[in-house]
Chains A and B, each alone.
Chain A
């Protein structure tokens, strides 16, 4: 598997990262190096092997359904760049 320059730009867009045009070529090569390295895994026969989701063999801890948190309005809004009437305010996002 190899990625091209367009894929680099697309991945950068999805991750909201700015990659200068002059850096695209170099980033593509780095991507491909990583991918090639990981591709060694294809040499292993994984037939009938369940995907491994986590290397920690732990069970999922569950919580009781109780209200134990909240009422933190001031703290929650403290770092907001913009807030009005107790809401977070962001540039209009409706299409």
Chain B
């Protein structure tokens, strides 16, 4: 789908790349033994290393390395066996060392790619440039005091993966689809919790525009720290439109840093890039290079979980699901696991319909997460079987489902205890049909004289008389035989 910004004079296209900071899931920080726990009291989880005390030396956490390699493999990327830590020098209150330990020329992960699916049914590959690992900065709180900024170092030194993409995005939708895909992948892998609103996944977008068909790139603006998929899409759209306006009025764009204002949906100028990015990188003297072996990497590869793309394809193949349903079911690993348990040995397509329909609707209505569901996945499979083998009708199934949700009991037990088992014995149904016809002579006469739409009324009476337990197809057939005789 081609996305352009059309004006009276021209047609413009967006060129956008993303940098995503993902907090690595690990118990302790990347260079110290302090806890990474989120939400503890200020400055509780801080070691002398994180506080930048003189003479303290960083020691690399092996779990952070493993998580970065895992993420690299999940993004189909080259793992660099040799990588080097560097110092990125800048002065700011959130970084007491005066530098951040990061990776520069030799990152741990190189080129990769991620497939995104778009709403028009097409797919696109987004290039990954690199992933490097580094330490997070402290958290600054600006709104507690009008004259001061408060700094909490609990976040300082938490491991980060910075994932950099190629400038492959041509529309806000593509960037949004990528962020969702990336979030889904890191959650599957268990390498980052992906919670953008808590700041454990943060996105910077580099945006420029050019005339459709134009070669080369124009100056770009970088929008910093956008904290939701929706805001990222809005920021890209509004920044691109702003640049188009500037160009069309004869102006030029200078390389600059902006922030996204959530209240107005607009980007706001922060600073020019001239001096700001003179970080004077040099190799970190406190850490020798990181060297990994093939065996180490292959070991991690062997333990990789099935990722959303592969799972989606398998669900479509094995359970005959549509791409849309398979997408919804594989977005999170928990949902996919739930579906798979429910579908095992049952009609997968029908199980998917129940999960994506009534089940999710009820979870949402009751504001429950999947883990809090009173219904076990196996019970949905059982319910589908009860319908498929004609033990209950689809209509009764809805009632059984409601009872399952309220009591947490299996549908088999509910159907037995409440006597909801469908009557498929034709002599029994016939008896009810005869009674209904006999006691409604006037309607029978009306039907015979041509008011055939009374048929539905007869069906209703029979179902009511059987307390909903009669097999609807059999009721239809028997009534038809008797009324049209």
The complex places the Cα of A60 from the Cα of B93 at a distance, in Å, of 29
A89 in complex: contacting residue of B28, B59, B149, B291, CB < 8 Å: B149
B151:A63 contact, CB within 8 angstroms: no
Interchain nearest-CB distance for A57 vs B (Å): 8
Interchain nearest-CB distance for B167 vs A (Å): 26
Give the interface segment out of A24-32, A41-49, A66-74.
A66-74
The complex places the Cα of A94 from the Cα of B270 at a distance, in Å, of 10
A63:B43 contact, CB within 8 angstroms: no
Which residues 42-95 of A sit at the B interface, judged by CB distance below 8 A? 53-54, 56, 58-73, 75-77, 82, 84-95
B149:A54 contact, CB within 8 angstroms: no
B44:A70 contact, CB within 8 angstroms: yes
A87:B152 contact, CB within 8 angstroms: yes
A88 in complex: contacting residue of B153, B278, B288, CB < 8 Å: B153
Q: CB-CB < 8 A to A62: which residues of B?
A: 59-62, 65
Is A10 part of the binding interface, using a Cβ–Cβ cutoff of 8 Å?
yes
A76:B46 contact, CB within 8 angstroms: yes
Q: CB-CB < 8 A to B278: which residues of A?
A: 10, 14
Is A16 part of the binding interface, using a Cβ–Cβ cutoff of 8 Å?
yes
Q: CB-CB < 8 A to A70: which residues of B?
A: 33-35, 44-47
B288:A63 contact, CB within 8 angstroms: no
A60 in complex: contacting residue of B26, B34, B60, CB < 8 Å: B60
Q: CB-CB < 8 A to A88: which residues of B?
A: 43, 93, 150-153
Is B317 part of the binding interface, using a Cβ–Cβ cutoff of 8 Å?
no
Which residues 395-429 of B sit at the A interface, judged by CB distance below 8 A? none
Which residues 241-299 of B sit at the A interface, judged by CB distance below 8 A? 270-271, 275, 278, 280, 283, 285, 287-291
B147 in complex: contacting residue of A69, A75, A92, CB < 8 Å: A92
Interchain nearest-CB distance for B461 vs A (Å): 69
Which residues 2-46 of B sit at the A interface, judged by CB distance below 8 A? 26-28, 32-35, 41-46
B61 in complex: contacting residue of A65, A77, A93, A95, CB < 8 Å: A65
Is B332 part of the binding interface, using a Cβ–Cβ cutoff of 8 Å?
no
B149:A63 contact, CB within 8 angstroms: no
B27:A73 contact, CB within 8 angstroms: no
Q: In chain A, what residue has the closest Cβ to B269?
A: A95
Is B78 part of the binding interface, using a Cβ–Cβ cutoff of 8 Å?
no
Interchain nearest-CB distance for B375 vs A (Å): 36
Q: CB-CB < 8 A to A13: which residues of B?
A: 275
B283:A53 contact, CB within 8 angstroms: yes
Q: Which secondary structure dominates where chain B touches chain A?
A: loop
* Total inter-chain residue pairs, C-beta < 8 Å: 136
B283:A87 contact, CB within 8 angstroms: no
Q: CB-CB contacts of B98-140 with A at 8 A, as 1s and 0s?
A: 0000000000000000000000000000000000000000001
Q: How large is the interface on A (under 10, 10 to 19, 20 to 34, 35 or more residues)?
A: 35 or more
Interchain nearest-CB distance for A50 vs B (Å): 9
Q: CB-CB < 8 A to B32: which residues of A?
A: 69
Q: CB-CB < 8 A to B49: which residues of A?
A: 69
B145:A84 contact, CB within 8 angstroms: yes
A87:B33 contact, CB within 8 angstroms: no
B148:A65 contact, CB within 8 angstroms: no
B148:A95 contact, CB within 8 angstroms: no
Q: CB-CB < 8 A to A95: which residues of B?
A: 270-271
Give the interface segment out of B84-92, B180-188, B202-210, B465-473.
B84-92
The complex places the Cα of A30 from the Cα of B324 at a distance, in Å, of 68
B149:A85 contact, CB within 8 angstroms: no
A92 in complex: contacting residue of B43, B148, B287, CB < 8 Å: B148
A69:B151 contact, CB within 8 angstroms: no
The complex places the Cα of A66 from the Cα of B140 at a distance, in Å, of 26
Interchain nearest-CB distance for B350 vs A (Å): 44
Q: CB-CB < 8 A to B270: which residues of A?
A: 95
The complex places the Cα of A48 from the Cα of B291 at a distance, in Å, of 20
Q: A54-B288, A60-B287 are in contact. Are A65 and B149 (CB under 8 A)?
A: no
B46:A54 contact, CB within 8 angstroms: no
Interface-centre pick from B64, B288, B289 (highest chain A CB count, 10 A) = B288
Q: A62-B65, A70-B46 are in contact. Are A91 and B149 (CB under 8 A)?
A: yes
Is B51 part of the binding interface, using a Cβ–Cβ cutoff of 8 Å?
yes
Is B142 part of the binding interface, using a Cβ–Cβ cutoff of 8 Å?
yes
Interface-centre pick from B47, B65, B275 (highest chain A CB count, 10 A) = B47
Interchain nearest-CB distance for B140 vs A (Å): 7
Is B457 part of the binding interface, using a Cβ–Cβ cutoff of 8 Å?
no
The complex places the Cα of A88 from the Cα of B92 at a distance, in Å, of 13
A54:B285 contact, CB within 8 angstroms: yes
The complex places the Cα of A34 from the Cα of B196 at a distance, in Å, of 48
B60:A91 contact, CB within 8 angstroms: no
Question: Which of B's residues lie within 8 Å of A, judged by CB?
Answer: 26-28, 32-35, 41-49, 51, 59-65, 84, 89, 91-93, 140-142, 144-153, 270-271, 275, 278, 280, 283, 285, 287-291
Ordered by A's residue number, 21 sampled pairs between the chains whose C-beta atoms are within 8 Å are A14-B89, A16-B91, A60-B289, A60-B290, A61-B59, A62-B60, A62-B61, A63-B62, A67-B33, A67-B34, A69-B47, A70-B44, A71-B44, A76-B46, A77-B43, A84-B150, A87-B151, A89-B151, A90-B151, A92-B149, A95-B271
Task: List 20 additional contacts besides A76-B48, A76-B153; criterion CB under 8 Å.
Answer: A53-B283, A54-B289, A58-B288, A61-B59, A61-B60, A63-B33, A68-B28, A69-B47, A70-B33, A70-B35, A70-B45, A72-B47, A76-B43, A76-B46, A84-B150, A87-B42, A87-B43, A87-B150, A90-B148, A93-B140
